[in-house]
Structure formats: C-alpha cells, structure tokens
Amino acid sequence: MNTFSYNKTLAKSDLDPILANLRDHLIAKNVAAEIATKLCDSVANKLIGQNVNTWMGLKSFVKNALEESILRILSPNRNLNILREVQMKNDSGNPYVIVFCGVNGVGKSTNLAKIANWLLLNDKSVLVIACDTFRAGAIEQLRTHIHALKNIHENSNSGSSSKIDLYEKGYGKDATGIAMEGIRYASNSSYDVCLVDTAGRMQGNEPLMKQLAKLIKVNEPDLTLFVGEALVGNEAVDQLVNFNRALLDNGCRSASNDSVSAINGIVLTKFDTIDDQVGAAISMTYITGQPIVFVGVGQTYRDLKRLNARAVVRALMK
C-alpha cells in the first residue's frame, strides 16, 4: 500500500531521510561534506511543495533531482570552446595565450604537453614559453616533450600547418618579462597559441603567488588553467580555492573584457585512477563556477579528454 495518496504535497519531513542518505553517499564519493550538504539542501528547497505519486517512487524522484542539479554544476554557463576562441584571437592578428599554474608536482608540464598535442592535432602552431625559472630541469623537461611532439607531428605530417617550438631564456630570470617577450615573439612569428609554463608553488607562498599574479596581470592571458590531481580529492579543492583567493588578493580581478582573471579553467590529472571517487570534480566546479576543461587519463600525449559530465554523474551516483 502506498504511504501517501497520489497528490500528496512533499514536506521537508518526507525528504530529510532520503537526502541524508544521498548526502552520505556523496561524501563517500569524495564530495566535500559542506558541498554535499548544500547540494542536498538546494534539492530539498526545490522539491518541497511538489506533488509525487507514491512513496516507492519518491527515492528515485529525489535522486533524479539531485543528479540534474549536479549535471548543471558540471556544465557551467560559460561554454568554453578553445578552438573557436583560438581562431577568433588569430583572426585579430594575435596568438591565443594559455597560462598553466598549480602546486608542485601535479604534472603541469606533462599536461601542457598533452594540450599542445591536442592543439597540433587540430592544425594549430604552438609556442611553449618556459616561465618556470626556479625548478632545476624544468626547461629541459619541456624541451624533451617538445622534441617528442616534433617527431610525432612535424616529421609525420608534412602537409600540416602544425608546428611546435620552445621559447626559453634560462633560469633565474623574471618570468613576467619572459612571458611578455615570448608572446611578442609568437605574435611576430604568427604562432596560433602560446602555452606558458609557470613554476609550481604552494598557495601559501606569498612571494611566489605575487610573481604569478604579476605575470597574469601584465600579460593578460586568454585562459588561466589550474592543474590539480583528481587523486588527492578534497586536498585539490583546498589548493584550488586558496590559489584562486591568493591570485585575487594580489590583484588578478576580472577586467571589463574578462581577459584578465584569476583561474578560469581546470585540468584534472590522473582522472583514470580514481574509479568512482569523482567528488573532487563536483567540489571544484561548485566552488569556482569554472569548467573542468580537460581530464588526464593516462601517460601518453593522447591521454587527454574533455570532461563527460553525464559519465561523472553516473559514476558518482552508482
């Protein structure tokens, strides 16, 4: 027998036990507890006062509402089409500039190389600008990646317009100035895209955060990507939040044309290692409102994917 009649109006007391279970489920899948609570509260506010048919259908009804809410979070209003934006910038006679930032050891250089590979596959010419002037071996690591990408693309694709080169001025120099010179060189040499590698830094290191903020303010990149590890879950969320706040505190506030901002896109590495523990992706987009542009799913240059929001929701709710 049904617990209530067909046109029963939902009350908070009907939803609380179901949402409590769903909240615990989200937390178990690595969604930050505070965000899981807010998500469930927003679903409750939306559903209270609605009519449902039977108690047996109520759990599915609430779960579907939560899934739709999460899907909206993973699909931010700003629809980022990088290739289209690159073309628009090139049509105006300038290269499209992407700055990569993040904490130490998350794989910024490797994922920069993966994105370079993706751009090359789409017939874009790429200039990588080495602005990690701190870490020993950083420039050599980029040079190794670029040599490998040249072998893949320039030697096997003679009819393609894609090419990749490195712009570097050695260690111990001012990263802001190197980025500026590199972008100018790319513009004069008609490169389509500049990929700016920066030094890994902890978000609490104020001098290094100030230097990164200066690089972004002066050079006005079209896209500033935060590279974080999916594997570390809520630690990556904390890093992103604090990184973003540190940049904002150091003057990286949006300009009227939105060309200068703090972080406005996310790359999640090691996404293939987390199975269904996908909650960090939800937390990062919920907190920042910024899209996850790419996820790294393996070791090769081709192991880079656009985020499949529906697949993430399925993994999260199973």
> Once rounded to an integer, what is the mean pLDDT over residues 141-152?
94
The answer on pLDDT for 272 being more than 90 is: no
The answer on pLDDT for 165 being more than 80 is: yes
**Do 66 and 86 share a domain, yes or no?**
no
For residue 35, the enclosing domain spans 8-73
User: How far is residue 106 from each of residues 77, 102, 223, 246, 311, measured CA to CA in Å?
Assistant: 27, 7, 19, 19, 24
Span 286-295, pLDDT tens digits? 887 888 889 8
Q: What is the largest CA-CA distance in the chain?
A: 76
**Do 63 and 122 share a domain, yes or no?**
no
**Do 184 and 284 share a domain, yes or no?**
yes
Instruction: Calculate the CA 105 to chain-centre distance.
Output: 16
Which has the higher per-residue pLDDT, 200 or 22?
Answer: 22
**Do 151 and 57 share a domain, yes or no?**
no
Give me the pLDDT at residue 277, please. Answer: 67
Label residue 153 exposed, middle or buried (CB < 10 Å: 0-12, 13-18, 19+).
buried
Q: Which domain CATH number covers 225?
A: 3.40.50.300
The answer on pLDDT for 56 being more than 90 is: no
Q: Is residue 2 in some structural domain?
A: no
Which has the higher per-residue pLDDT, 155 or 75?
Answer: 75
Give me the pLDDT at residue 318, please. Answer: 81
**Do 299 and 244 share a domain, yes or no?**
yes
How far apart CA 124 and CA 116 sit, in angstroms, is 9
- Measured at the CA of 73, the angle between CA 234 and CA 219, to 5 degrees, comes to 75
> Once rounded to an integer, what is the mean pLDDT over residues 116-129?
96
Span 29-39, pLDDT tens digits? 888 888 899 99
Span 204-221, pLDDT tens digits? 777 888 889 899 989 999
Give me the pLDDT at residue 29, please. Answer: 86
**Do 104 and 149 share a domain, yes or no?**
yes
**Do 32 and 128 share a domain, yes or no?**
no
The answer on pLDDT for 76 being more than 80 is: no
How far apart CA 303 and CA 127 sit, in angstroms, is 21
Span 243-271, pLDDT tens digits? 888 888 887 765 444 444 488 899 988 88
How many domains, the chain?
A: 2
Q: Is residue 217 in some structural domain?
A: yes
**Do 243 and 99 share a domain, yes or no?**
yes
Percentage of the chain lying above the pLDDT 90 cut: 42
User: What confidence category does residue 304 fall into, taking pLDDT thresholds of 50, 70 and 90?
Assistant: very high
Q: Is residue 3 in some structural domain?
A: no
pTM: 0.87
**Do 86 and 37 share a domain, yes or no?**
no
Give me the pLDDT at residue 124, please. Answer: 95
Q: Is residue 125 in some structural domain?
A: yes
Residue ending a domain, among 17, 43, 73, is: 73
**Do 160 and 52 share a domain, yes or no?**
no
Residue with tokens 């009227």: 256
Q: Is residue 251 in some structural domain?
A: yes
